[in-house]
Amino acid sequence: MRVRCYLNIIGIVLLGLGLAMSAMGETTTKVSLMLSAETARPGETVMAGVRLQMQPKWHSYWVNGGDSGLPTKLDWTLPPGVTAGEIQWPVPEKLVTPPLTTYVYQDEAILLVPLKIGADAAAGSLDVKVKVTWQECSDEVCILGHTTLEAKLLVGGESKPSADAALMAAAREKLPKTEAIPPISAKWEKDDDTRPMIIEWNAPGK
């Protein structure tokens, strides 16, 4: 009886693994590629946006997922003379599900990436492709999804924003805000026997 029960438990575990593996392709997140410009000039930088639209009760992960979770990965295939910069990650939400704390995106996230067009790029249509790999999770299960997206960018003598330019401008507002650090100087006071150190900086006016 012990042997038979042991085999039954293994069978149940294997069945569960099989169901989990079959669910890997059943993603719920809608993923799309946007460009800030329809037409750009040589030497300009165009922002690309990978948009993840999650279903209710599902989430994807920030660059640092916290205690668990994998960040979205982008692998670009670009024409000669076009280079992709680093992902600009919007500010995430903190999700606490004891004992785990993770940093996630719910509802929607747009990952921005600058695409630099070479100064000697020839006029014409450029194919921009990206393979997107992401992890989406609910309270019950996590699924690893992947897809390949593409868009066309025209290189010409003028710049023309795309239909998604306003949406991408709004996405930039969700990036972490960086404030300039005021210059700080330090020196020893020479005319005092105690030789105190003087630290000076310009504080912003109020």
Look at the alpha carbons of 169, 171, 173, 175 in this order and tell me if their dihedral is positive or negative: negative
| Locus of tokens 């000669």 | 80
Pair 185, 201: CB distance under 8 Å: yes
41 closest CA partner among 148, 160, 136: 160
Q: How do strand 124-137 and strand 82-84 relate by DSSP bridges?
A: unpaired
Q: Residues of the chain with pLDDT > 70: what percent?
A: 74
- pLDDT value at 11 more than 80: no
The pLDDT of residue 177: 86
Q: Is the pLDDT of residue 159 over 90?
A: yes
pLDDT in tens, 17-72: 333 333 455 899 999 999 999 999 999 999 999 999 999 999 999 999 999 999 99
Owner of token pair 């639209």? 53
Predicted TM-score (pTM) above 0.85: no
- What is the overall mean pLDDT for the chain? 84
State yes or no: pLDDT of 170 exceeds 60.
yes
Q: How far is CA 204 from CA 128, 134, 182, 186, 199, in A?
A: 43, 42, 8, 19, 16
Residue 156 tokens read as 């010409």
Side chain identity at 139, as an amino acid letter? D
Residue 66 CB neighbour total at 10 angstroms: 16
DSSP H stretches of helix in the chain: 2-22, 165-172
Has residue 13 got a pLDDT over 70?
no
pLDDT band at 205 (very low <50, low <70, confident <90, very high): low
Burial class from Cβ neighbours inside 10 Å (0-12, 13-18, 19+) for residue 13 reads exposed
Distance between CA atoms of residues 69 and 85, nearest Å: 23
Q: Which amino acid is at 192?
A: D
Query: For residue 17, what pLDDT is reported?
Result: 36
* Mean pLDDT calculated for residue range 188-205: 62
Exposure of 156 in the CB half-sphere (CA atoms within 13 A): 11
Please write the tens of the pLDDT for every residue from 104-126: 999 999 999 999 999 999 999 99
134 Cβ partners below 8 Å, 6+ apart?
29, 31, 52, 60, 61, 70, 72, 73, 144, 145, 146
Domains of the chain in sequence order:
26-176 (2.60.40.1250)
46 near 163, Cβ under 8 Å?
Answer: no
